[in-house]
């Protein structure tokens, strides 16, 4: 395939699936600067692996696999580095909430609870919320269907406890 057409095809693929990538970035990194860096890192890894993608699986399955591997590699790398906190003005601002927007508030509470889960559990629940089947989730994450089912039951129970705790 010609290099120009490969690039054009890749750009179209990223445009179609950028919401998925942004969702993953937001799930693992709360700061906008970190999300932007991760987004670029994921796109770079997708570009590097795109020529080898042979369409034997769904595009979303391949994309999730590359993106999650990139996220997990970055998290592992960060764990070996000393923690440093940067100043961010938005951390000191209280966001205004709309009293009549119950759905947005519930979604925000759910994502806050999800952010407290382990990294692999975040990936599982994200795929579940994106309506992937257990088989697809198992394929993307390299786990068995039974393992996904067990994880989902535990994740749902954990989220239930976290959400109840927030309501108290």
The answer as to whether 92 is a domain residue is no
- Percent of residues, the chain, with pLDDT higher than 70: 85
Angle 57-60-65 from CA coordinates, rounded to 5° = 80
Q: Quick check: 141 pLDDT over 50?
A: yes
Angle 92-117-29 from CA coordinates, rounded to 5° = 45
The answer as to whether 93 is a domain residue is no
Q: Which two tokens stand for residue 138?
A: 């198992």
Q: What is the CATH number of the domain that holds 11?
A: 1.10.1740.10
- CB burial readout 67-97, b (16+ within 10 A) else e: bbebbeebeeeeeeeeeeeeeeeeeeeeeee
- Percent of residues, the chain, with pLDDT higher than 90: 54
Q: How far apart are CA 66 and CA 77, in angstroms?
A: 16
- Judgement on whether residues 71 and 111 belong to the same structural domain of the protein: no
How many Cβ atoms are within 10 Å of 134's Cβ, its own excluded?
Answer: 19
- Judgement on whether residues 74 and 115 belong to the same structural domain of the protein: no
Q: Quick check: 87 pLDDT over 80?
A: no
- The tens digit of pLDDT for each residue in 28-64 reads 998 999 999 999 999 999 999 998 888 888 898 999 9
Q: How far apart are CA 168 and CA 164, in angstroms?
A: 7
Closest by Cα among 73, 43, 62 to 139: 62
- The tens digit of pLDDT for each residue in 97-133 reads 454 466 778 788 888 899 899 999 999 999 999 999 9
Domain range enclosing 76: 1-81
- Whether residue 119 contacts residue 155, with contact meaning beta carbons closer than 8 Å, is answered with no
- Judgement on whether residues 2 and 65 belong to the same structural domain of the protein: yes
Query: What's the total number of domains in the chain?
Result: 2
- Chain centroid offset of residue 168 CA: 28
- Judgement on whether residues 75 and 7 belong to the same structural domain of the protein: yes
């Amino acid at each position: 395939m010609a290099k120009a057409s490969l690039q054009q095809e890749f750009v179209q693929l990223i445009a179609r699936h950028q919401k998925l990538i942004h969702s993953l970035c937001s799930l693992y990194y709360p700061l906008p600067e970190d999300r932007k860096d991760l987004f670029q890192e994921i796109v770079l890894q997708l570009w590097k692996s795109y020529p080898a993608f042979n369409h034997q699986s769904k595009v979303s399955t391949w994309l999730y696999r590359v993106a999650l591997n990139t996220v997990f590699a970055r998290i592992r790398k960060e764990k070996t580095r000393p923690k440093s906190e940067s100043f961010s003005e938005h951390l000191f601002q209280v966001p205004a909430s709309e009293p009549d927007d119950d759905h947005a508030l519930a979604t925000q509470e759910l994502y806050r609870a999800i952010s407290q889960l382990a990294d692999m559990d975040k990936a599982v629940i994200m795929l579940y919320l994106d309506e992937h089947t257990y088989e697809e989730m198992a394929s993307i994450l390299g786990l068995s269907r039974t393992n996904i089912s067990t994880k989902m039951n535990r994740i749902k129970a954990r989220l239930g406890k976290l959400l109840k705790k927030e309501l108290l």
